[in-house]
């Protein structure tokens, strides 16, 4: 039996934008991080939303939600109207799950899925996205400054001027490119 290798997940502190990060390099050579149903189940478990199983129709629905969240967040970041199709998918996913917010002994909110189904998990992700889009959380929606990435992210930095979806990937890559371009330009002048 051959073990399959998949791209690593990108960690994030905001559920909805982390979910949109399961497709990276959207404007370059796109990297699909949930190519099969098992990887969606893995991502959900890694984000506290473990499900019993996942099949191709649920993966297709999850991708539809992911792209709707990205479209809505992109519209918010660019101060444009939210596409009605994105609103429809977000609302539909949000209302089709049976998840509850519970309080942990540490005083943190945790989601408890009603039936450990993908629909329950997607409802949590949709609800998180809706809270961001509706402006209920302290932060701002922005788009990654990397021309190949353009991922939507939620900036909670003190100054709200973050430029990169992830400093460890896009930020470092862009800074390295500027550094090397500067070195090339200085060597051409000498």
Q: What is the pLDDT of residues 25-50, one digit of tens each?
A: 898 899 999 999 999 999 999 999 99
What is the C-alpha separation between 89 and 64, in angstroms, rounded?
Answer: 8
Which tens digit of pLDDT belongs to each residue from 1-28? 555 677 778 778 899 999 999 999 898 8
pLDDT of residue 2: 52
Higher pLDDT, 190 or 70: 70
pLDDT at 174 over 90: no
Which tens digit of pLDDT belongs to each residue from 87-123? 999 999 999 888 888 898 999 888 889 888 999 999 9
Q: What percent of the chain shows pLDDT beyond 70?
A: 94
pLDDT of residue 10: 79
Look up the pTM and report it: 0.86
HEC assignment per residue over the chain = CCCCCCCCCCCCCCHHHHHHCCEECCCCCCEECCCCHHHHHHHHHHCCCCCCCCCHHHHHHHHHHHHHHHHHHHHHHCCCCCCHHHHHHHHHHHHCCCEEEEECCCCCEEEEECCCCHHHHHHHHHHHHHHHHCCCCCCEEEECCCCCCCCEEEECCCCCCCCCCCHHHHHHHHHHHHHHHHHHHHHHHC
pLDDT of residue 190: 59
Q: How confident is the model at residue 186 (pLDDT cuts 50, 70, 90)?
A: low
Q: What is the mean pLDDT of the chain?
A: 89
What is the C-alpha separation between 148 and 111, in angstroms, rounded?
Answer: 33
């Amino acid at each position: 039996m051959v073990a399959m290798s998949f791209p690593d997940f990108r960690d994030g502190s905001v559920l909805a934008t982390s979910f949109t990060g399961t497709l990276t390099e959207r404007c370059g050579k796109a990297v699909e991080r949930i190519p099969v149903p098992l990887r969606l189940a893995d991502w959900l478990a890694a984000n506290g939303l473990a499900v019993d199983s996942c099949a191709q129709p649920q993966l297709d629905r999850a991708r539809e939600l992911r792209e709707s969240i990205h479209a809505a967040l992109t519209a918010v970041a660019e101060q444009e109207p939210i596409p009605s199709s994105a609103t429809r998918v977000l609302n539909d996913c949000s209302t089709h799950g049976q998840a509850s917010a519970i309080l942990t002994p540490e005083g943190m909110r945790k989601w408890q899925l009603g039936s450990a189904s993908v629909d329950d998990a997607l409802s949590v992700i949709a609800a998180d996205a809706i809270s961001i889009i509706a402006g209920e959380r302290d932060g701002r929606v922005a788009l990654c400054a990397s021309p190949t990435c353009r991922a939507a992210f939620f900036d909670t930095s003190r100054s709200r001027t973050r430029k990169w979806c992830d400093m460890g990937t896009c930020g470092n890559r862009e800074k390295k490119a500027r550094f090397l371009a500067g070195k090339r330009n200085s060597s051409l002048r000498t």
